[in-house]
A and B are shown apart, each in its own frame.
Chain A
């Protein structure tokens, strides 16, 4: 997406001259303040041939845990590779990853850590993705979320010295000083996103959410802003869609890999082992709306299988997914006929 698009979008929502000047100043500060890497800091089209549909890959491995309860790393990397190759239509995992990122870029991995161990993005998966990114020539990987303490409680070792990998909570990086505004959302965006990362891979968890219905690709953007507590009204609708319209979030997110190794169909976002199930899978998509739509249905299916009421019956149907697809947002598609659901 051309860089000027960000300006166009901001200006479209800047109501007066003062706001316009602020926007320009903020944009200049952002550009001037960031490290411009050797690579091209613009989103890379993956050129996935899907005949106009949004591809969502669901990769599963029934034997992911072997005979025990913990995930086998060897099988997880194969699952990841299969998911990525299927999504990109490539013969090798390296080819898939090199379509996604370019050497010299700083790549952020936006994990979801609020729930601590058990219902956060798995450390195993993040390590494997980091390994593949490094093989694709990425020398600077930033694993980030809202708080350092959240990263730690999910099992990430902030003090560990791993070459080319950094852990940054927004509480240590800080937020931009100027508000980003779209619709009902007015937020300060994490500097990790605006100034450090050239590209972001979104790594949510496949799980239920007590207010928003589900928390998947779109909801995970709340970890990039300073005031997510203000956007949990009305099942997060339209707030979640609006937050995803904020230019840094929309433009820098290249791919979503939803961690479904362990999923949760009730009681989220906190970890509730009694409502978790070993889905043993990953969801991969570029279209966050399509991924959320598919992920939501998977959770509903599991609820139905266990004789539980649907999210809609409980008053928490994730209507923000449809809002994200509407004419005002166009963040993706929630129309099943426009989603290529690929199970591998």
Chain B
């Protein structure tokens, strides 16, 4: 596998899954495709692209309209008005005078008729609340599962990764703000119904569908239906989320999908209020519930210089994880790169990440990783008993694996995760 899988070189924040950028050679090779619903194509690695180009039905790449520099459309595509995107929201409460209260995320927006919630993708129409983004996919890529990152979930496999516009928070460091901080009309999208999503995942040899890049909470109904279609077609489902969701919809998620990676953006309410425009407490409750429900989870913590990189915060985080989730939940400390509204800070020094890992290790967490630093030894998985490398990684590449049936290949220690 070539180095072109290694997206770290973009230097983009891996707190939530980043949109891959395409090489110009790939872009120039774009041809009209025949994928379902007018899907323009997919962004693939060079190798995968060349492999796929041999297939008669391949539509090549470039289904990433919101990539940098693409700008914002003067005229929405005809499909924007398509009623196929609009479904009644699952979680809301009707109020007097045609108002509604959204019950999907803890923000609980109270929304007047003809208005939208904070996420920008759910609208009150005459006292009924609708999602405007079901099957309204604005970006789709085939990614290695390591890019999510999920390190203990079918390593070395591919995830068919999709997103719609919108988000229920507004992180100042968002790397995908061109799709997460816009309304669905402001980015070109395509119709990709659940059955076609599952079929595409299989067509591209993806073990899983990943709902990612923006915030799957806001395209909740699509995730549910996509997961059902995926399972019916033998495809797993993973969610990459900030975890800012209410308990009832979360529990339904836990039944529907195989893994949920949570971006724990800091361990202080102050940070959540000032930088995320959200709250920490509901996110911690989300993590506890996911564990209680028995769904596999991993945590990413984007370390941002001066904002969430104190020893005390790292220690409090590690203690909380150990006592509330257990020592086996993987924690990824990843490197920040200046983006969006936080361009005044430098990239995270490697020493800060190592300091975070050192503290978490010392507190007794078993699987602490460093992310966004290609080639760092802490990208690999070590057996907590014999301390030997059991999964050796370089960026998104699995170089070697020494595991058998979910156990360390050297000492037979059980390694938690989803391995088969």
Taking Cβ atoms with an 8 Å cutoff, the residues of A that contact B are 15-16, 18-19, 114-116, 171-177, 179, 181, 186, 188, 191, 210-211, 226-227, 229-230, 232-233, 267, 269-270, 272
Contact = CB atoms under 8 A, between A and B. Distances in A.
A227 B184 CA distance: 11
B183 A229 contact: yes
30 contacts: A15-B343, A16-B343, A18-B343, A19-B343, A114-B114, A114-B115, A115-B114, A172-B74, A172-B75, A173-B74, A174-B72, A174-B73, A174-B74, A175-B186, A186-B340, A186-B341, A188-B72, A210-B99, A226-B183, A227-B181, A227-B183, A229-B117, A229-B118, A229-B120, A230-B118, A230-B120, A233-B277, A267-B97, A270-B112, A270-B115
A227 B172 CA distance: 14
A181 B341 contact: yes
A57 to B, nearest CB: 30
B185 A270 contact: no
A119 to B, nearest CB: 10
Contacts, number: 72
A280 B183 CA distance: 36
B28 interface: no
A269 B112 contact: yes
A179 B71 CA distance: 11
A177 B71 contact: yes
B170 interface: yes
B113 interface: yes
Interface residues of B, number: 33
Nearest to A176: B72
Contacts of A171: 76, 185-186
B74 A226 contact: no
Nearest to A181: B341
Interface of B: 69, 71-76, 97-99, 110, 112-120, 170, 172, 181-183, 185-186, 277, 338, 340-341, 343-344
Nearest to B116: A229
A232 B118 contact: yes
Name the 9 nearest CB pairs between A and B, nearest first.
A15-B344, A174-B74, A229-B120, A177-B71, A270-B112, A175-B72, A186-B341, A270-B113, A230-B170
A177 B343 contact: no
A226 B112 contact: no
Contact of A227 (B115, B120, B343): B120
A241 B40 CA distance: 41
Contacts of A15: 343-344
A172 B183 CA distance: 14
Nearest to B117: A229
B95 to A, nearest CB: 11
Contacts of A233: 118, 277
A227 B344 contact: no
Contacts of A230: 118, 120, 170, 181, 277
A232 B108 CA distance: 13
A239 to B, nearest CB: 10
Nearest to A185: B341
A230 B168 CA distance: 9
A272 B99 CA distance: 12
A226 B186 contact: yes
